[in-house]
Structure 1
Amino acid sequence: MVAWAMPAHAQDDRMTPIATPEQPTAIPLDTGVLPNAPVSESWYRQYGSRFARNVRQATLTPFLPDPARATGAAVIVAPGGGFRTLSMDNEGYEVARALAAHGVAAFVLKYRLNQTPAGMPAFAKSMAAMFSATARPPQRTPEQQLADLAPQIADARAAFATVRSRAEAWRVDPARIGMIGFSAGAMLTMATELAGQDARPAFLADIYGPLSPVSPPADAPPLFVALAADDPFFGSGGLGLIESWRAAKRPVEFHLFEQGGHGFGMYPKSTTSTGWFNAFIAWLAMHGWASR
């Protein structure tokens, strides 16, 4: 079952239902309940990590740094999962804790998702179909995805608005809030920037998302990109996004790892893709957003 995401240390890729965990620090966002979403949110464990699905109400969970180390910068963290599930540990909470350790306030965005079957067997079958090579539709550009991702973009905008509204209490500079996304979360990150309006990320990080060419705005923020060359979904799709940023004369840093597959996130693997986070912190520090 979706072995493409299986980390080196995990031997069991079965989806095991778990109780929805208490989330006492999660802040409900004001984007409402997803229309036509009758199935309740549920969680499961796979690859040693927790995943959420059927998210109907978006939330934002803060991970604040020690005030003595805080840089004033912040990051909205968007986990991936094909807009059907969210990798809450590997691409959410663990990323946020690691960022906070480097002085960056991090906020995990649990955005609303497309509905999946309530039963685990039917859900597992639907996920296998989504990730099969024959079932995947042609890749669409971030601009083409804007309408499809309207609810998720609204959630991202609400996340930025929430952090800015509490910036003083959280010791965050409202002008220094960026966004990092993984896979589908990377799609959401790029779509949030391209949608314009009022999110205005200070920087962007696209971690194993599609690299389709785009038309970046004239004032596009600095961009960090990490991808494994053997990524089965996006490793052979060209480098259009990088070329678009360079053509617009906007700052971009790109790391192409020889191996790592898709979904490596914070999993400890034997491939050099594990080094993406240290490279990201070094990039943030270079710009004055993180402490080493």
Structure 2
Amino acid sequence: MEVYTPANNLTRTAVLICPGGGYHTLAMDHEGEQIARWLAGRGVTGIVLKYRVAPYAYPVPMLDEERAMRLARSHAEEWGFDEDRVGVWGFSAGGHLASFLLAHFAEPLPEVAGYTPDAIDALPVRPAFGVLAYPVISMKAGLTHQGSLHGLLGEHPDPALVQDLSDELQVKADSPSVFLFSTTDDAAVPVMNSVKFYEAYVEKRIPVEMHLFDHGQHGSGLAGTKPGTAAWPQLLQSWLQRNGWMSNE
């Protein structure tokens, strides 16, 4: 975990950032450090998570994410935010990891041999809100990103886990609100991952905002000056400000 603290966090908000990489690697720069700096520059604490990837498989990345959320809350006063104001932001496969927390926050994960829980493990893992950028959501054939599926569940995944980790099927009535961004012609992760998650939120009447652009390369991060998708960080900033997670000042 790398913590980027703003000069003045007026809203007392923090965001746990999950870079993408297909559960095989981590895009720590444009989906990690750059994101934390963007948040800190706008008065929000950014916490970049370096979670374990292949050869580690489920449930290890999820255990890392939940531990990170609990650690962040345990250090909230020290790091300058409120423990009940920690969101999660994920990109690509990191978006799947973030969507897992949005949908499975109340469900215990399998235990790992050799780990002894401590007092921090009693803290909640439900995020205050979520941001998903060109996310992998589903593990279902025809919808998932094969590299992410194999990185998380192996070459021959258990059908029960495929079902359980298809997060468009697991949204709860009390899942946190979410902001989604993707591109229609994403050649790596089908845009229907975002659409299905959006539909699940609408069905349960949970606040959700989605922006789809007609064209854009997968893995664009904050998109820089790329036509079209360069607008998405400002749309996100507006959403965060309207919901009180980021200051207008």
* Aligned residue type for 1:115: P
SS at match of 1:107: strand
Aligned with residue 48 of structure 2, among 96, 108, 113: 108
Offset of 1:90 from its aligned partner? Answer: 0.3
Match status 1:187 vs 2:96: yes
Q: Is contact 2:92–2:219 with CA below 8 Å preserved after alignment?
A: yes
Q: Distance in 2 between matches of 1:149 and 1:64?
A: 31
Q: Distance in 2 between matches of 1:278 and 1:269?
A: 12
Offset of 1:269 from its aligned partner? Answer: 4.1
Aligned with residue 61 of structure 2, among 139, 152, 155: 152
Q: Residue in 1 aligned with 2:21?
A: 81
Match status 1:61 vs 2:25: no
What pairs up with 1:232-243 in 2 under 5 angstroms? Answer: 232-237=187-192, 239-243=195-199
Offset of 1:168 from its aligned partner? Answer: 0.9
Q: Residue in 2 aligned with 1:165?
A: 74
Match status 1:220 vs 2:220: no
Q: Residue in 2 aligned with 1:283?
A: 239
Q: Distance in 1 between matches of 2:190 and 2:233?
A: 19
What pairs up with 1:1-292 in 2 under 5 angstroms? Answer: 60-67=1-8, 69-115=9-55, 149-197=58-106, 198-212=124-138, 213-237=168-192, 239-292=195-248
Q: Distance in 1 between matches of 2:180 and 2:14?
A: 18
Q: Distance in 2 between matches of 1:192 and 1:181?
A: 10
* Aligned residue type for 1:165: S
Distance 1:267 1:218, change over 3 A: closer
Segments of 4+ moved more than 4 angstroms? none
Per residue, is there more helix in 1 or in 2? 2
Q: Is contact 2:92–2:189 with CA below 8 Å preserved after alignment?
A: no
Distance 1:236 1:268, change over 3 A: closer
Q: Distance in 1 between matches of 2:233 and 2:191?
A: 22
Per residue, is there more strand in 1 or in 2? 1
Offset of 1:267 from its aligned partner? Answer: 4.3
The count of aligned residue pairs is: 201
SS at match of 1:85: coil
Q: Distance in 2 between matches of 1:214 and 1:286?
A: 28
Offset of 1:115 from its aligned partner? Answer: 3.3
Deviations 1:121-140 (A, max 9, x none): xxxxxxxxxxxxxxxxxxxx
* Aligned residue type for 1:151: V
Structure of greater Rg? 1
Q: Distance in 2 between matches of 1:268 and 1:202?
A: 27
Distance 1:112 1:227, change over 3 A: same
* Aligned residue type for 1:85: T
Offset of 1:191 from its aligned partner? Answer: 1.1
* Aligned residue type for 1:255: H
Percentage of pairs with the same residue:
35
* More divergent stretch after superposition (248-257 vs 195-204): 195-204
Q: Output the aligned Cα RMSD.
A: 1.7
Q: Structure 1 unaligned runs (5+)? A: 1-59, 117-147
Q: Is contact 1:177–1:203 with CA below 8 Å preserved after alignment?
A: yes
Q: Is contact 2:223–2:229 with CA below 8 Å preserved after alignment?
A: no
Q: Is contact 1:70–1:105 with CA below 8 Å preserved after alignment?
A: no
Q: Distance in 2 between matches of 1:211 and 1:241?
A: 7
If the length of structure 2 is used for normalisation, what is the TM-score?
A: 0.76
* Aligned residue type for 1:277: P
Q: Distance in 2 between matches of 1:235 and 1:264?
A: 15
Q: Structure 2 unaligned runs (5+)? A: 107-123, 139-167
Distance 1:96 1:236, change over 3 A: closer
